[in-house]
A and B are shown apart, each in its own frame.
Chain A
Amino acid sequence: MKIDLSVEAGGVRMASPLLMASGTFGFGREMDAFYDLSILGGICSKGLTVAPRLGNDPPRAAETASGMLNSVGLQNPGIDAFLEHELPFMRQTGCKTIVNIAGYSVEDYVAMAEKLTDEAIDAIELNLSCPNVRTGCMLIGSDPLQLTEVIQAVRAVTDKPIWAKLTPNVTSISQMAVAAADAGADAVVLINTLMGMAVDWKTRRPILKNNTGGLSGPAIKPVALRMVSEVYQQVDIPIIGVGGILCAEDVLDFMVAGASAVQIGTANLISPCAAVKITHDLRQLLGKENLTRISTLTGTLQLWS
């Protein structure tokens, strides 16, 4: 049976619902040594800032039950070096290029969006959710007024699809998603990492030099699923689901809950070829259920009344 894995989400038509989450795939170069990246739906670039950033001091990672904390702190070469050295590589991978940008201010997001608008990219992912920098990002994304301002300002300078990647570290994710949709976002990406901490009681120190970090991995999948399901009831724009996906069943759970596409993040750090296996297993699972088009599953979850 021929299985159609193609989906459309947030103005981007993709051969597969699998996107590689920002910060877990670099710009694709390292992973290109391991498999043919054209099997993917797309790659979300490492989060970019206006100027290059060294990121936080190590240790930058700590293990947790069923997951990990990271506090990389947006180490990146800056938008200009990205355009010159990394974008040409991303363009020839055969999958979609999503550029993740992280600002300290509205002006930062606008400046980067202006540089990207005439480039051959498929979507701009607004990082409104990084928990590891002191200003911008999550602070902007936790305030519906600032979030609205950023999305409107970026909308005014580009026709590229805008994906708003939201933080779960808020009282109401639906409020943020509604604000993003009203401001003109083409999709919401749910969720970035949950802010957390790991402690070494013997040294009386946090393990991360940044004290806190972002929790990812299967530990957060139930939280992400709940948020995708909740937001699906509230907004009409597509949802891209992310949070602890390790296997094909996880992908289908997110799609049924309301996601039009998904992002694979921490799984890439455990198994570089995770997406290859997931792609294969998706075909198998759908075939067994006589489902020929994966996109028909989106939002088919029937909540108990």
Chain B
Amino acid sequence: MDKIPADPAGQRHGIKYDPVTTCEVAALVRLNSDTSQLTLKAPRIAAAAEPGQFVNLEAGHFLRRPIGVMAVDRQQGLVQLGIRVQGRGTEWLSRLRPGTVLSVMGPLGKGFQLEGYRRVITVGGGTGVFPLYYVQQMCREQGIDGIAVCGYRSKADSVLTDHYRAAGCQVLFASDEGDLDVEGHAAAALEQLLQSLEMDRQEDTLIAACGPNIMMQAVAKIADVYQYDCQVSLEERMACGVGVCLVCVCKTKTKTGEANSRCCVDGPVFPAKEVVW
């Protein structure tokens, strides 16, 4: 994490790095009936955020809400997030207006580890397509081959399809209702894709998944069968976001047995082989 200079007025004596900043809402665009795209003026976060990392946002109630970073514009200092209404906090966030100032903590957590891979297949379901879009952008920046599999309930429910098409990656859109490229959920679409690929790039290919647990578990199993490395981004109810409260835990395998790892600092992205589903 980068260091920020101490407050010249000396009012914040002792601060080394405050992960909390205040950010102005630049835009909020409705994408479909329950999903919006929020753009924040957050230069420090834009400069530092890596794919798979998240921010913990003030959300009109008591606790913050963790939301994965969807895209950054480092030049303009903008950060984009995808918000789907799931409860009172995300409902509040989805009603923000440009100019509102928010307290934002981040970037937080360990993101996807792309180093050493020459091809990345992202598999997203639900709001998982947002943080994975940032993965595909990063792949394009770094000259890594990208393939994006996105699963939706229906065409009407689909989001970011134009973004993905413009991101320079190969795309495969699946929907439960069969009104997109492939019928079925994202894991089934992944399996179809893998069957069509030459089996000669297991060494340099990563499968990166984000979405409902049941989808990620299926993706992890398929990755194992086809012998690809797989990383998954887990989600759990969270409080502090910095590793002190032990609220957002998930079961992981360790040398000595099982542990409750913290999604906020040990994750949210974990190697799929370490996760106890």
Contacts and interface: CB of A to CB of B under 8 A. Distances in A.
Interface in B50-70: 61-64
- Name B's interface SS: loop
Contacts of A55: 246, 249, 260
A189 to B, nearest CB: 19
B20 A30 contact: no
Contacts of A287: none
A222 interface: no
A272 B19 contact: yes
Interface in A112-133: none
Contacts, number: 118
B225 interface: no
A273 B12 CA distance: 9
B250 A64 contact: no
Interface stretch (A19-27, A103-111, A255-263, A289-297): A19-27
A30 B62 contact: no
Contact of B250 (A58, A67, A277): A58
B237 A58 contact: yes
Contact of A277 (B12, B249, B265): B12
B247 A34 contact: no
A54 B260 contact: yes
Given A54-B260, A63-B61, A75-B260, A30 B236 contact: no
A30 B237 contact: no
Nearest to A208: B237
Contacts of B249: 55, 58, 60, 75
A42 to B, nearest CB: 15
A273 to B, nearest CB: 5
Interface in A244-299: 268-273, 276-277, 279-280
Interface in B244-274: 244-250, 258-260, 265
Contacts of B16: 33-36
A5 interface: no
A68 B62 contact: yes
Interface residues of B, number: 37
Contacts of B17: 33-34
Interface string B92-115: 000000000001010000000000
B182 interface: no
A38 B265 CA distance: 24
Contact of A280 (B12, B89, B258): B12
Contacts of B18: 34-35, 272-273
Interface centre among A25, A58, A59, A72 (most CB of B within 10 A): A58
Given A34-B17, A58-B249, A61-B237, A270 B62 contact: yes
B62 A67 contact: yes
Given A59-B236, A67-B62, A72 B245 contact: yes
A271 B238 CA distance: 14
B240 interface: yes
A271 B18 CA distance: 9
A72 B243 CA distance: 13
A213 B242 CA distance: 21
A97 interface: no
A54 B245 contact: no
Interface string B211-250: 0000000000000000000000000111110111111111
Nearest to B256: A52
Interface in A27-58: 30-31, 33-36, 38-39, 46, 54-55, 58
Interface centre among B11, B89, B245, B265 (most CB of A within 10 A): B245
B143 interface: no
B15 A35 contact: yes
Contacts of B63: 61, 63, 68, 269-270
Rank and list the top 7 A-B pairs by shortest CB-CB distance, nearest first.
A36-B14, A269-B240, A61-B247, A26-B244, A59-B237, A30-B243, A60-B247
Interface of A: 23-26, 30-31, 33-36, 38-39, 46, 54-55, 58-68, 70, 72, 75, 207, 217-218, 268-273, 276-277, 279-280
Given A54-B260, A269-B244, 17 more contacts: A35-B16, A38-B14, A54-B258, A60-B247, A60-B249, A61-B237, A61-B247, A63-B63, A67-B62, A72-B246, A268-B244, A269-B63, A269-B239, A272-B20, A272-B242, A279-B13, A280-B13
Interface of B: 1, 11-20, 61-64, 88-89, 103, 105, 236-240, 242-250, 258-260, 265
23 contacts: A23-B246, A24-B245, A31-B242, A34-B15, A34-B17, A34-B18, A35-B14, A35-B15, A39-B14, A54-B258, A54-B259, A55-B246, A55-B249, A58-B248, A59-B237, A63-B61, A70-B245, A70-B247, A217-B62, A269-B63, A269-B244, A270-B64, A272-B20
